[in-house]
Amino acid sequence: MKKIWIVLLVILGVVFFAALSLAGAYNTLVKMDEGVNQAWAQVENVYQRRLDLIPNLVETVKGYAAHENSTFVEVTEARSRAAGSLSREAINDPKRFAELEASQGALSSALSRLLVVVEKYPDLKANENFLSLQAQLEGTENRISVERGRFNEAAQAFNTTVRQFPQSLVGAMFGFHAKEYFKSQPEARNAPVVKF
């Protein structure tokens, strides 16, 4: 009878230890998942800040360059697509994440073309309102880069943890999946050609 109690206590001890281990792994994944979500929220915040600056920038440029209508339309449409692609679900869906990256890249490209238009108008380049908006936009672009880097760091830490044992078992049981990363744009891989 005493041996049965000892065996039962050992089994209960093993089960208790396994349960604690699984609970610890689950709590670690939850904490890291929330870290990724927080980093993603910051990415969304700076993207939204850029989206909010664009109408003011376009209106300021329109005052000086009204005949550049196709550029304004392009920027407005790119802004609309970028706004529509912002979604928390993108971090768990590779297709939506790729769409988000593409729309944000298209917006950056459209803004670059708008700033090229500005070069034709010296009075606009001296306008205080435009200069302020341009400085805010440049600062926002820097923030976007920083927050995307922080998101990638949080996603990398989470992805590493969710692939390790025993977290991989817990992750599979509770639906934790690897997160996507921001990647450089394909055109960034080619060095620019400088000709004099």
Q: In this structure, what CATH number is given to the domain that contains residue 95?
A: 1.20.1440.20
- 98 falls within a domain: yes
Note the pLDDT of residue 195.
44
For residue 40, pLDDT beyond 90: yes
Segment 104-125 mean pLDDT: 87
- 61 falls within a domain: yes
Cα 101 to the chain's mean position, in Å?
Answer: 8
Segment 18-22 mean pLDDT: 88
- 192 falls within a domain: no
Note the pLDDT of residue 116.
86
Of residues 183 and 85, the one with the higher pLDDT is 85
Note the pLDDT of residue 43.
94
Segment 177-184 mean pLDDT: 87
Cβ contact 152:137 at 8 Å: no
- 33 falls within a domain: yes
Note the pLDDT of residue 189.
47
Cα(116)–Cα(137) distance, integer angstroms: 15
For residue 34, pLDDT beyond 70: yes
185 phi, psi to nearest 5 deg: -70, 145
Note the pLDDT of residue 9.
87
pLDDT digits (tens, 9 = 90+) for 127-152: 888 889 889 999 999 999 999 999 99
**Four-point Cα dihedral 62, 65, 71, 76, nearest 10:** 0
Under DSSP, the state recorded for 164 is: S
Segment 101-117 mean pLDDT: 90
Note the pLDDT of residue 190.
52
For residue 23, what are the domain limits?
2-181
- 115 falls within a domain: yes
- 77 falls within a domain: yes
For residue 192, pLDDT beyond 60: no
Of residues 78 and 66, the one with the higher pLDDT is 78
Indicate the number of domains in the chain: 1
- 190 falls within a domain: no
Quickly tell me which residue has 């922080």 as its tokens: 150
- 144 falls within a domain: yes
